[in-house]
Amino acid sequence: MAKCDICGKGVSFGIKVSHSHRRSNRTWKPNIKRVKAVVEGTPKRVNVCTRCLRSGKVQRAV
């Protein structure tokens, strides 16, 4: 679900550490948008992270 179709960026895992140093698991999710983009010449709905949108790796269909 939370995975970029272009670069493959997905959820990463780590540990949340409170002020008292209690540790618990947490996740970081990428900023994924469902956009209409041109893929192989045809417009298609794809899940794309905002980094790929901003860098121009994806051409949006109008």
Question: How do residues 14-60 score in pLDDT, each as one tens digit?
Answer: 999 999 999 999 999 999 999 999 988 899 999 999 999 999 999 99
Q: What is the pLDDT of residue 62?
A: 81
Where are the chain's structural domains? 12-55
CA-CA distance, 7 to 18, in Å (whole number)?
32
Q: What letter does residue 61 receive in the DSSP assignment? A: P
Q: Which residue has the tokens 């980094």?
A: 51
The pTM is what? 0.76
